[in-house]
C-alpha cells in the first residue's frame, strides 16, 4: 500500500509499506477514506520532537475491511472514526474516561501503521473505533466527521479545562443584525479592545 513515511525532520515522503493485516484477534483493518495532518505531526516534521523513521499520522476515518475473531461490535463495511489513541475500555484509566492513558493501549502509529496511509491495523478495535450510522455522507459531512478523530476532542477538552461558558448575544444593532461576544474563561481578562 502507499503511505506517508517520515524520513527525518523536514522530509516526509510517500512510499510503499506492507498491507496491514490482523495480528491480534481484537484487531480490525480499516481502509482510510480521509486523513489529515495534526499539529503534533508538525512537531516531528520540524524536528521539535524525536520520531523514528516510518509511518506517520493518527487522524483518519474509513471503512472496516476485516475484523478479528474476537471483535463483536463491528462488521466489515462499517464506516468508522478512529480516535488518535487505541484503548481497551476496561483498565482503570479507561473506566475513568482517560482512554489516552490506557494501560494496554497506545497511539497511532505505534501499532505499525499510520493514519496517513491507504489502510491501518487498529488494535482493540471494539473499544477504539466509533461506528457512524448511515451511508452516502456528503463531502462536507465527511470532513466534519474527520474532526472527531482528534481536533474536535482536543478543542472540547481545552474549553472544558478553561471553563469556557456560553455568553448571551448582545442586543440587536440598528441594522437588525444580532452581534455576539467572543467566549473566554470567566477568570481571564477580556482581549484588548473588547468588552466582557
pLDDT, tens digit (0-9, with 9 covering 90-100), for 40-90:
888 889 999 898 999 998 889 999 999 999 999 999 999 999 998 999 999
My answer on whether omega of the bond before 109 falls inside 30° of 0, hence cis, is: yes
Residue 13, classified by CB atoms within 10 Å of its CB into exposed (0-12), middle (13-18) or buried (19+), is exposed
> Domain for residue 21, yes or no?
yes
pLDDT of residue 135: 84
> Domain for residue 178, yes or no?
no
What total number of domains does the chain contain? 1
pLDDT of residue 38: 83
pLDDT of residue 170: 60
pLDDT of residue 179: 43
> Domain for residue 86, yes or no?
yes
Q: What is the mean pLDDT of residues 1-28?
A: 95
Residue 17 · residue 3 · CB < 8 Å: yes
> Domain for residue 96, yes or no?
yes
Per-position b or e across 164-188, b if 16+ CB within 10 A of its CB: beeeeeeeeeeeeeeeeeeebeeee
Which helix (H) or strand (E) segment holds residue 155: the answer is: helix 151-161
Is pLDDT at 117 greater than 90 in this prediction?
yes
Q: What is the mean pLDDT of residues 10-17?
A: 94
> Domain for residue 124, yes or no?
yes
> Domain for residue 183, yes or no?
no
Give the CA dihedral 52, 53, 57, 62, nearest 10 degrees.
Answer: -130
Residue 94 sits in a domain whose CATH number is: 3.90.180.10
pLDDT of residue 175: 47
> Domain for residue 12, yes or no?
yes
pLDDT of residue 177: 45
pLDDT band at residue 172, thresholds of 50, 70 and 90?
low
Q: What is the mean pLDDT of residues 91-116?
A: 91
> Domain for residue 55, yes or no?
yes
Is pLDDT at 185 greater than 50 in this prediction?
no
Percent of the chain with pLDDT over 90: 53
Q: List beta partners, residue 130.
A: 81
- Residue 92 lies in domain: 2-149
pLDDT of residue 80: 96
pLDDT band at residue 160, thresholds of 50, 70 and 90?
confident
Q: Which of 56-70, 118-132, 153-167 has the lowest mean pLDDT?
A: 153-167
CA atoms within 13 A on the CB side of 2: 2
pLDDT of residue 178: 41
pLDDT of residue 70: 98
pLDDT band at residue 176, thresholds of 50, 70 and 90?
very low
Amino acid at each position: 500500500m502507499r503511505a506517508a513515511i517520515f524520513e527525518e525532520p523536514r522530509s516526509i515522503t510517500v512510499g510503499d509499506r506492507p498491507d496491514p493485516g490482523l495480528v491480534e484477534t481484537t484487531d480490525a483493518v480499516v481502509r482510510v477514506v480521509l486523513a489529515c495532518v495534526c499539529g503534533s505531526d508538525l512537531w516531528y516534521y520540524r524536528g521539535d520532537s524525536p520520531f523514528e523513521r516510518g509511518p506517520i499520522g493518527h487522524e483518519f476515518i474509513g471503512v472496516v475491511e476485516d475484523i478479528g475473531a474476537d471483535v463483536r461490535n463491528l462488521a466489515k463495511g462499517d464506516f468508522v472514526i478512529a480516535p488518535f489513541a487505541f484503548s481497551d475500555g476496561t483498565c482503570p484509566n479507561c473506566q475513568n474516561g482517560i482512554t489516552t492513558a490506557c494501560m494496554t493501549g497506545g497511539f497511532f502509529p505505534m501499532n505499525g501503521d499510520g493514519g496517513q496511509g491507504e489502510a491501518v491495523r487498529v488494535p482493540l478495535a471494539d473499544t477504539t473505533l466509533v461506528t457512524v450510522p448511515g451511508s452516502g455522507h456528503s463531502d462536507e459531512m465527511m470532513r466534519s466527521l474527520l474532526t472527531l478523530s482528534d481536533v474536535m476532542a482536543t478543542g472540547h477538552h481545552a474549553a472544558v479545562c478553561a471553563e469556557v461558558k456560553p455568553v448571551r448575544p448582545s442586543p440587536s444593532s440598528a441594522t437588525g443584525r444580532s452581534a455576539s461576544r467572543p467566549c473566554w474563561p470567566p477568570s481571564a481578562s477580556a482581549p484588548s479592545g473588547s468588552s466582557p
